Structure 1
Amino acid sequence: MERLARRLGLTDAVVIGLGSMLGAGVFVVFAPAAAVAGGVGLLLAVALAGFVAFCNATSSARLAARYPESGGTYVYGRERLSRYAGFLAGWGFVVGKTASCAAMALTIGAYLWPGQARLVAVAAIVAVTGVNLRGIGKTANATKILVGLVLAVLALVALTGAGAVSPDRIGGLDGHARGVLTAAGLLFFAFAGYARIATLGEEVRDPERTIPRAVPLALGIVLAIYLALAVVTVGVLGDELATSAAPLVDVVTAAGLPDLAWVVRAGATVAVTGVLLSLVAGVGRTTLAMARRRDLPAALSAVHPRHRVPHRAELAVAAVVILVVLLFDVRGAIGFSSCTVLVYYAITNASALTLAPEPGRKLPVRALAVAGLAGCLLLAVNLPLPSVLAGFGVLALGTLWYVLRHHLAAQRSG
């Protein structure tokens, strides 16, 4: 079996995690989350989603150190629980994240050229796939540039809006418990990028040390940024946040600096491009892992002889994303993706619970795995009903394919 090259260090892994997370939550999810939870509820939801993500990150890091290869929870579920558990995790990840890729690409189109959003989205998919096909080192270097630009724009928004924050706007918005859970489920979409570090496990140097350090470090940085920006957006926009199409643009405008709106729009485009770059790479690696075990066509397991990347898998992912962009409405992609990815992480935590205790660990890792498992399932079932039905419906279709394939294989062998 051809192996991928180990080229990523700690900084590279953290940057890829940041590039996968920064953008979706800040530029896309805050408004719908505030609509279902209210302003105060949004702040609670960010903290809750961050806690569930931390539990998942702890379990992911332990498992990734034990199984340092591409595939993430597809591999963990298969090795620690059952072949079906691994398949369900991989299927949910590939399908959910493919929808996320389409949503991110269409977001780029909406910011750059609203009248030709689909055309721009296709061009974005082609461009990021071209970068990824040049090798994971190119992906990491490009992501470093994108993350630096995004952090500068987010700092600009935070500093600009800080002077216009009103405590009355924060305290004047009330949510309810179900709304907080729904918002946290939607916001989880913004935290799920740290999985990209685990799915790139085969390309990380010294994975037993690098992955357990990179995952919580990237997550902690993003959580701090999200909380700060959530306070600013709620404190500046108040009730208007729930209906805002571009919350951070509205923040700088409400703060009296409308001339900075174009900078924020450009930052949003850069941020989402960074998410898309890492997302396509991560889905390609999980597709590679599933193809190696024949859960997807074996032809997708090929590794490019020069660039050492799963080129067929990445081209196949890009083709499916382009098809979704051209033919389907992906406005519900965030909820759909959150549902399938929360199931993915529920399997991660269940897999972590089968690991032997590790003497000397300061964190209560088993308790965190239990909390992560329960939290993932709770957030998943409290997402908007269409997202829940679509997510579990696609998981059911994958299960049907799995059963039929194994039934036919048993008949042939018999």
Structure 2
Amino acid sequence: MSKLRCKPFLVILSALTFLTASGCWSPVELNDRAFVSLMMIDLTEDGQFELTLGFTLPNRMIPGQVGGSGESGKEPFGYVTKTGKNLPQAYQEIQSDITRRITFGQTRTIVIGSALAKHGLDPLLEFSSRHITFHISANLFVTQGKVLELAETPTTFERFVPVILRSYISHRQTIDTTLRDVLRARYSSGDILVPILTLSKPPSTMAKKEKSEVWLGIDGAAIFVKGRMIEQQLNKEEMKSALLLNSNVSEMTFRIDSPTDGKEITFNIEDVSTKIQAGRKDNTPSIRLITRGMASILTSDSKLDLLNDQQLILLQKELNQEIRSRMMQMISSTRAVKADVFHLNQYIDWKYPDIWKRLRSNWDEFYAKELDIETAVNIRIRGTGEAYRSIRTKWREGT
């Protein structure tokens, strides 16, 4: 009898196995799909939404060929641009011109033009949240000019522009801001930092080889207040300080002046982590930032003797003080425009909800003028290299 009772269970289990193993997750075949790798959005001068979708073109790729070109020798990546009174209309205009069904399942990079950034990110959030295949982990960038200039970027080191942009994030050369981060910020204050892409003239050798007048790079960070980009921005050095605060740094080059003779010393800072703690004094909230990490010396023009423990401790103290100073300068830049881009209010809300209820309606002013923010930096120097004094200094002394 026990064997007979087990048979229905085994039949159901076998059916479930076959259903989950099926590869038919959609009625649309892969060969009938056009996968968006890059999405670029801007506003035209007459207020129209300009949508550009970048697609990889499998029919132009040959396995094993470095350049990735097909028989015609054309690029394996293409762009389609359309305009409309809103994003859905621009999207439909693109879909009507393409023989394949557009899907956003592989969209990992979104670039916003400065005109749309100043207008606000709500149209993008509305559009992406209504496409179930859209990944909210897609990275967001802002350009200082027209976003279509990005299409002229030469792919010297990578095959596609989206790969270049993702490399900036994976190598932690700029801050990591995703659609998820923007959505979370929009449901609270709407304040957030978004990395800025810069389009400049390429090096002369690259310009001659690639025949391009555009060179892609990273700059500082755009400050968004209530979902809109403002004129105030973080420069590149302030953006690096933001990386330190976000604990998004594996390694970073940092330069300071020697505390003994003012000559430049360059460090490689690694394994940085910053802990944010909320506290209160007399029912007034405060924030404490605790940054830790390791550093090694890359170059030194100073006569400072790294074998001398006292001078090494003095150098470490100077390094920590300089990092602390730059972090506070970056925070001051955000406080000047009343932009809590690091969402310090959430730490107060989590720990002291009663205080947050009292301050919530006037948080912008409180953050800008009254919030007590303290920083503690402890970067330890663990590597000095084989030269304990500047090699160039020794050469000068020997001549």
What TM-score do you get using the length of structure 2 for normalisation? 0.27
Q: Greater helix percent: which structure?
A: 1
Larger RCO of the pair (alpha carbons < 8 Å, separation 6+): 1
Instruction: Kindly name which structure, 1 or 2, has the bigger radius of gyration based on alpha carbons.
Output: 2
- The structure richer in strand per residue is 2
